[in-house]
Amino acid sequence: MLDSVFSLLGGLVLAGVGGEFFVRGVVGIARWARVPAGIVAVSVAAFATSSPELSVSVSSALAGNPSIGLGDAIGSNVVNIAFILGAALLLGDLKVDRGTLRRDLAAAIGAPVLTGLLLLDGELSRLDGAVLLVVFVAWLTFVVIDAWRERSAVGILGEQRHGLALLTSVVGLAMLVLAGRLIVTGASAIGEAAGLSPFVVGTTIVAIGTSVPELATTVISRWRGHEEVGLGTVLGSNVFNGLFIVGVAASIHPIAVGDLGPQLGLAFGVATVLLAVPTSTGLLTRWRGVALLLSYAAFLGVQLWQGGGH
């Protein structure tokens, strides 16, 4: 058991550091290549912070236990909005441009709805995975077209020298891959010892660990006065998790569902995004943060209550 704890803790540390390295490196390469910053903020940064979830999902699917990956993707989406955004709002009210977030808010709500519909037959098949990937490509295409058209400038810290940026991104990606393996190994053993199902292990222990990069991005963006970067990144990350990562995992290994756990998790995911929709004036208040944190506590309670294995 002690080895499992060290494996999990080591994975969490690597996920946080690797995610930060990867974000800095990829953004630095994009700046050197003169790619519009809007594309980087909405797509590359979101992908970078979702890399731990991707690593976990692929590793668990290849190991024949894709329920951990599905649970991680669903749980991470709830963590991103309910816990990370909720905690950030406790630091103060957040003013955002609601118009620029309209597309990503709709996608963050639509992704879990689509996944829930595909799960009605009790399984995410390889065909279902392909459907999710096709929808993801369509969404990403719109993101790139809009970002290129707007050419919006978003300040995210990145390495300016392209050689160092490339090295940083490669090192960060390697750390994220190793982090995924360590987290799967440690969390699976701990969850099994606690009598939790693989899905619940994914939605709780693993999801918190793989959401460390989103937490770092959100906190840093608030410190630097770029609040929309944090909200945009967690929304983009949710779309990546719900469409791309679940789609890849299901394409590798069909995911059979034996209870209502995934549907309940998806419902929480939709509810938390709805709580994060700004007012008509673009304001998210501290009280919205309290509501989000309470919803996360309820999510954890439901997961642990129904998590006695299957």
pLDDT digits (tens, 9 = 90+) for 205-220: 778 777 777 777 677 6
Closest C-alpha among 228, 238, 230 to residue 207: 238
Q: Is residue 16 part of a domain?
A: yes
Q: In this predicted structure, what is the pLDDT of residue 155?
A: 47
Question: Is pLDDT above 70 for 299?
Answer: yes
144-153, 200-209, 262-271: which range is least confident on average? 144-153
Containing domain of residue 191, as a range? 2-305
Are 289 and 121 in contact by the 8 Å Cβ rule? The answer is no
Are 17 and 182 in contact by the 8 Å Cβ rule? The answer is no
Closest C-alpha among 191, 241, 238, 234 to residue 216: 234
| Beta strand extents in the chain (DSSP E only) | 94-95, 123-124, 255-256, 283-284
Read off the pLDDT of residues 224-281 as tens digits, 9 standing for 90 and up.
666 666 677 788 889 999 999 999 999 999 998 876 678 888 999 999 999 988 888 8
Are 52 and 19 in contact by the 8 Å Cβ rule? The answer is yes
73-87, 105-119, 207-221: which range is least confident on average? 207-221
Compute the mean pLDDT over every residue in the chain, rounded to the nearest whole number: 80
Are 235 and 103 in contact by the 8 Å Cβ rule? The answer is no
Q: Is residue 62 part of a domain?
A: yes
Q: Is residue 194 part of a domain?
A: yes
Q: Is residue 52 part of a domain?
A: yes
* CATH number, domain with residue 79: 1.20.1420.30
Q: Is residue 310 part of a domain?
A: no
Read off the pLDDT of residues 173-193 as tens digits, 9 standing for 90 and up.
788 778 777 877 787 787 778
Q: In this predicted structure, what is the pLDDT of residue 246?
A: 93
Q: In this predicted structure, what is the pLDDT of residue 134?
A: 97
- Write the CA distances from 38 to 17, 33, 150, 228, 306, integer angstroms: 24, 14, 8, 12, 41
Separation CA 222–CA 22 (nearest Å):
20
Q: Is residue 259 part of a domain?
A: yes
Closest C-alpha among 235, 237, 239, 233 to residue 217: 233
Q: Is residue 178 part of a domain?
A: yes
Question: Is pLDDT above 50 for 310?
Answer: no
| Beta strand extents in 28-130 (DSSP E only) | 94-95, 123-124
Separation CA 58–CA 157 (nearest Å):
29
How many domains are contained in the chain?
1
- Write the CA distances from 32 to 158, 159, 234, integer angstroms: 10, 9, 25
